[in-house]
Structure 1
Amino acid sequence: MKTKITFLHGFLSFLTILAITSCEKITNDKFGIGKAEFSLSMSDETTKSFAGASSDSGIYSYHILISVEDNEGNSVISDSLIPVYAFGTGFTSEDVELLTGDYNLTKFLVINPAGTVIYAAPLEGSPLSYLVNDPLPIQFSIIADQITPIAPEVLLVGDQTPGQFGYASFGMQIIKPLHFWTVCVLDCPLCMAPILLTDAKLTVYADNGWHYSFALEARVNHLVIRGGSEVYTFLLEKEGYLPQTLRFTARELAATSMENPLSLKIPWGSNQWKVLELQPGPSEGKDAMISNLEPDRNFGDHKYFEATFLSEPVLTVMRSNRSLAWFDLNSLPKSAVIKKVTLQLHYEIPIPWDPNVFIAGPVTSPLWAGGVLQQIVEPWEEHKVTWDSQPKTIEANQVYISPFNLNANLITVDVTTLFLPVNEIAAANYGMLFKLWPTEKFPGFRFVSSDYPMAAMRPKLTIYYTIN
């Protein structure tokens, strides 16, 4: 009898472990992130023609423009321009990160360096769809931590109209990329050492408002920016040094090469800024979450710093969550003059970005929805604050956080105006409130807080200052 009981106990334990393991796997698969890799499927003759037009490096000569929907018809990627790499006789895109699930590729165009659509994948039922084995839409699945290859068949566009491929129009503005090579150096005329190459952050601004930030390495960097502007403004930033603003013409950038790169100089004597980093843990940090569905409950130990508007799993109502945070600046010297403040935020699992929050309106006034950090002007306590007792905030000098899609799991937000107001106001500063703005229709943001178990991912406030 004892033998039977022992066997039964062991068997049940085995089933329990198996069930837990299976649940963990299902959870990981459901909420994981995988990658899609797009390649071109074409005839040998077309492939040779395509390869012959590539640059020597084969990098960024061509782009693909894709649209992807989920199985319910919701847009996941809309007219996204992705570089294509040439490896030998093959052509492969950069990896595209997606949440695990099933998707449909609904648009696939190939654009040459001149900005012309030269190949297109026809849609099912279109006049040219009979020429390919598998017209669009093409279904594919994303599995956590795996790369899914997708290779749609494409046809030469030539004089064919978009309608013959099943498109109302190719429906986009074709932008010709501008390539240039650059290197960042610390300019030290008195130094006897060789040229001091260094890393830095470079933000490029075009005249039409387009801008993008690059992480420069301590070597010659090959960068690709949006063409079409006559002049570009560069903002060169390196921790501990004063920012440098530079201007270059498109002609100057196009004249660069790997052997003759554009030299971006950071003056050696500009390292006047001192740096203070604050990344408190559960005992030192002060942050809390508040929720409209539990207006009297305190969430002082909540591990997320979030501003969300999500449906409840059971109730047919929406839950609105906001967060508060405060950083202790007492370690800053009394004679310090703040120059810049940044806030680094990590997310554990991103909330899918809904592009429909951007509703097209008049060109001069598009409807924007995202998050905002507002200055708190009343005292509050981490383990007492609730939705009903939340402190007052002001909109003056508030900081906006736009919806984003990034390969990295963090963002850095410039919050200087919360500590060094552009508009001088007579108001106390008791930290910041994170909420959705201007309405609560956007799914929201969920970053980690100072109570998160992984110390390196907790919010980090970096203060750049000088001594007066």
Structure 2
Amino acid sequence: MRALIKFFYSFLIPLTVIGISSCENRNDDFAAKGKAEFSLNMPEDGAKSLSGSSLDSGVMSYHIMVSIEDMDGNSVISDSLIPVYAFGTGFTSENVELQTGDYNLTKFLVINPSGAVIYAAPIEGSPLAYLVNDPLPVNFIIRADQVTRIAPEVLLVGDQSPGQFGYANFGMQIIKPLGFWTICILDCPMCMRPTELTTAKLTVFANNGWNYTFKLEPAVNHLIIRGGSDFYYFLLEKEGYFPQKLRFTAAELRATTKENPLVLKIPWDSNQWKTQIFQPGPDEGKDAMISNLDADKNFGKYKYFEATYITEPLLTVMRSNRSLIWFNLNALPKSAVIRKVTLQLSYDLPVPFDPTYLTDLDPSTGLARFGGVLQQIVEPWEEDKVTWNAPPKTIEANQVFISPFNLNVNFITVDVTRLFVPVNEVAAPNYGMFFKLWPVERFPGFRFASSDFPDANMRPKLTVYYTIN
């Protein structure tokens, strides 16, 4: 038994669950999803064994099979097969998108190119569970716009039975991954120009219910999918183009090579998204500023669109400024269906930055919690009458977060689609956007050009992408 223990310990992999912050921290009101990433930090001999199956594309022909449950025991992911990629001496999986919340990893198997389970994470209470520090289930937390890395401890399977690890069986351990080569092009038979490779999103569906989404690069892509199906359905998507639905047999996929890849075509003329730009000036534009220190004063003709919190030199108090803006979309066709909306905001001189506000951090991420929001205005208002003491009502549903930024250009582009095509359906009219600091006024804020700004190119620009029904 001592020899057996010593043998298995040589294949233990330490457990680490590390939350990696994304570039931008938002609370759940703005983003309800995060990502999980599974990693294997192999001992040198194990790493050499796996790296022996690397491909020219750098994609490993190994997979992991995982099952995940929520804290109520409901299955969230069941026997999902995920490709594993080489990363130094370790191996990292594709990111898996999940809703924010607490989860338990209940199954974790490493599968070689032949479809056999070679490593397994033991389940608590199983005969081999005592060999690891933290057997399954392993708890982890998904936070909005963050990547959580999970690296469970695994044991070499060898001749051990599934029961030794706590599994009734290893499920579909005889899984033969299917690799194929593919490119994606914008297809224009009548165009007198070279074939144009392009990026796209490809979701592959097997007839047993398995599916996975890949990001295609504008080059030859080597993809590894779950084998065992006679045919596969493809959903090919690219923003601005109609989705393409395709069907291929396993034999067709298997016959592809790097020199003769499967060509996925997006018709060039399926780009049915039209655009309309709105960038009104002082006469056509409707925006205003309101200020707490001039609570009854109207600032309908004001050259800045701002959300600021700045010391007032003469009064030695803090001045809070907020802004309202509305765009007249009547120029859109009556049958237009809005698909995407962006707002470009420009500034001439940035608001003086106060680094002390960064001392108040979110304890869970270590990032500053403060920024601004654009909220939906749900009451009529008039540019030349609105004041701090008489603002229109707004709602938080579908609000858009703007984080502090440091750019080498004098503008930002904000995706405000959710304010025009609500993610959360609300029975409320839309009278524009209200700009204020969030969640409380703690830092100087943002100051952009308004429709009254002298330089026409710097005025707020709304771009609407739409289709015609």
TM-score, normalised via structure 2 length:
0.48
TM-score, normalised via structure 1 length:
0.48
